[in-house]
Structure 1
Amino acid sequence: MQVSGQRIVVLGTGGTIAGRATSPADAVGYRAAELGIAELLQGVGAAEGLQLVAEQVAQIDSKDMDFAVWRDLAARCAHWLAQADVAGIVVTHGTDTMEETAFFLQSVLAPAKPVVLTGAMRPATAAAPDGPGNLADAVLVASTRGAQGVSVVFAGAVHGPVDVRKEHGTRLDAFSSGDAGVLAYVEAGRLRQLRAWLQGAPARAVATLPEPARWPRVEIVTSHAGAGGAIVRALVADGVQGLVVAATGNGTLHHALEEALLQAQDRGVAVRRSSRCAQGRVLAHAADRLPAAGGLSPLQARIALMLELMA
């Protein structure tokens, strides 16, 4: 059920959905972040009684996403969410770092209204662009009564911010929610909900986020056959404050890498173990010497650790 007499705010950040190529047949050699959000909204309608409001927050390829854009985007979301007549927010975003931005926004906003991220795998100039359909679906979800929290709407599926992963580099349905499953599907202009919207409290209030230059430095390293500790020691010497390790299986580590990580932890560096596996979670054990990141991916664990260190 959609709300009426309200506004949906659409915040643009660039990405493939705003991309342009020299040929309609070219879905690979395009330039991302070429079209403004107002142009993308042309032809995207809203339900009767809903007004779409466009605002350009950034204009970047999402592979170049940085802390400054995250902070600005979170601040603009917080501003609009506080307006009584705003029913929800849509954020157009590149797919490469969409899952990171979704997790970050949920962590600092935990909004009681919907904040919906969407984008495209084909540029706007493609012969059959997927952006307009994704954007229309995102507007529908953002205007659905009772919806809340951050979600990713893509190829007709609604993903939660903790479960969503980009799992394919070119396919139109590039995102998955793994064994957790999607929150809902958009079908013929209607929402079919399967799971409850994510609720919770902000891990860090937007207003208390420091300047991006002061955000703690957290890096990701990977365990693999023949892994050593040289990278860890170099990062510690370079002043890193946190390390997330993408471990094998259920958080297992090559012994040489584990030794270096334990030494880093002894020197005051915060360390978290996640898994490089696409699904499942790291199950903690009483004998663990390095804390587990639970069900968070390495990318999410990095964000969570950054926010933790900010405190």
Structure 2
Amino acid sequence: MADAKTPLRRVILGTGGTIAGRAARAGDNVGYVAGQVSAQDLIAAVPPLAGLPLEVEQVAQIDSKDMGLAVWQRLAERVAHHLAREDVAGVVITHGTDTLEETAFFLRAVLSPTKPVVLTCAMRPSTALVPDGPQNLLDAVTVAGDPQAHGVLAVCAGSVHAAEHVTKVHTYRVDAFDSGDAGPLGLVEEGRVRWLHLPDRPGTETPFDAQRLQRLQQATALPRVHWLTSHADADGVQVLALLAYGDAHPEAMPQGLVVAGTGNGTLHQALEAALQEAVSRGVVVRRSSRCARGRVIPGVAGALADTQGLSPAKARIALALELMGM
């Protein structure tokens, strides 16, 4: 049992990304190699973190564009392990920006933690003239220790976002993340969190299930769920090609398709016809929108099922987990 007089620990799990990147010259913010600096060295580069009760563990060292099931399995296992400890207040994950929203949503769906799990990142490598990683890391540690923080969160450029809403919306600016209509949960200001509205406690609705995590760890691959987009002059060739390839290679037959429609999830008639063919062959299809704001409003007769407000990226993960029985 943790000593009430001893400050609770925060555990830092490193996975690589731009925050751990290096470039050959200072000032190069795009020509860098991600995942070069250890999590321990990232911590050492932030003086205000010195003396805090922190633990550091390197889970992976990759560019997050290459994120996949193997790292997610390892990350979920380590997060669950540390959150179960009475002496741990929360977990911070250093991550690349490209797939941060997907990892955040995945961990929320699989673990439903009540303690805070805070993902943070950087848009500039550690060798930048003015790197943004150190401040983001300090802010993330602050949020992970805040008594009102719960569930899976993302912290970047002083804003706190919920896993279910956060999306990367800019290719270059340091404030690259947004939460759409929901807005950020809070702001980190001079070492303190100002909550605009408090995070939900997901564990009270879908409590952590060790058997669910065990099923995940036993999986060798996620179900095949592809993501397509509707647009002007679209057709159904991609869908039909996936089905034809699956006929020749049954192990590659898609189990699910997520389509990002135009506007309120509308689909080009040729693409929709191909998707209906996929449905008739047992493929589960979900309809989202390519719009940056809003959600698909249901109510159109005969329309394919919508993603209940999830972005295409998160809907793909949700459908894969659903197909796994999770």
Query: TM class by shorter-chain length?
Result: over 0.9
C-alpha displacement at 1:40, in angstroms?
0.5
Provide the residue aligned with 1:229 in structure 2: 236
Provide the residue aligned with 2:124 in structure 1: 122
- Which residue of 285, 288, 291 corresponds with 1:274? 288
Corresponding letter in the other structure for 1:226 = D
Do structure 1's residue 73 and structure 2's residue 75 form an aligned pair? Answer: yes
Provide the residue aligned with 1:295 in structure 2: 309
Distance, in Å, in 2 between the alignment partners of 1:44 and 1:145 is 23
Pairing 1:4-23 to 2, within 5 Å after superposition: 5-23=7-25
Provide the residue aligned with 1:247 in structure 2: 261
Distance, in Å, in 2 between the alignment partners of 1:23 and 1:50 is 32
- Which residue of 211, 215, 220 corresponds with 1:208? 215
Give deviations 1:227-271, integer Å, cap 9, x for gaps.
111100111232011000000111100000001101101110010
CA contact (8 A) 1:46 1:139 kept: no
Provide the residue aligned with 1:151 in structure 2: 153
CA contact (8 A) 1:90 1:117 kept: yes
Pairing 1:47-196 to 2, within 5 Å after superposition: 50-196=52-198
- Give 3-state SS (helix, strand or coil) of 1:208's partner: helix
Could you list the structure 1 runs, at least 4 aligned residues long, displaced by more than 6 angstroms after superposition.
Answer: 46-49
Provide the residue aligned with 1:36 in structure 2: 38
C-alpha displacement at 1:286, in angstroms?
5.7
Q: How many residues align?
A: 309
Provide the residue aligned with 1:262 in structure 2: 276
Distance, in Å, in 2 between the alignment partners of 1:224 and 1:262 is 17
Distance, in Å, in 2 between the alignment partners of 1:50 and 1:203 is 28
C-alpha displacement at 1:161, in angstroms?
0.6
Corresponding letter in the other structure for 1:265 = V
Distance, in Å, in 2 between the alignment partners of 1:289 and 1:269 is 15
C-alpha displacement at 1:178, in angstroms?
1.3
CA contact (8 A) 2:148 2:198 kept: no
C-alpha displacement at 1:226, in angstroms?
0.9
CA contact (8 A) 2:12 2:57 kept: yes
C-alpha displacement at 1:288, in angstroms?
3.2
- Which residue of 20, 24, 27 corresponds with 1:25? 27
Distance, in Å, in 1 between the alignment partners of 2:200 and 2:51 is 27
C-alpha displacement at 1:44, in angstroms?
2.9
Describe the shift of the 1:19–1:212 C-alpha distance in structure 2 as closer, same or farther (beyond 3 A): farther
Distance, in Å, in 2 between the alignment partners of 1:85 and 1:236 is 51
**Alignment gaps of 5+ in structure 2:** 247-252
Give deviations 1:179-201, integer Å, cap 9, x for gaps.
21100000111100011213221
Q: Percent identity?
A: 58
C-alpha displacement at 1:5, in angstroms?
1.3
Q: Which moved more, 1:203-212 or 1:184-193?
A: 203-212
Q: What CA RMSD, in Å, does the superposition of the two structures yield over aligned residues?
A: 1.7
Distance, in Å, in 2 between the alignment partners of 1:87 and 1:215 is 31
Do structure 1's residue 218 and structure 2's residue 225 form an aligned pair? Answer: yes
Give deviations 1:60-104, integer Å, cap 9, x for gaps.
000010111111101110010001100000000000000111111
Q: Which moved more, 1:47-56 or 1:96-105?
A: 47-56
Describe the shift of the 1:284–1:202 C-alpha distance in structure 2 as closer, same or farther (beyond 3 A): farther
Corresponding letter in the other structure for 2:299 = H
C-alpha displacement at 1:211, in angstroms?
3.8
- Give the structure-2-normalised TM-score: 0.91
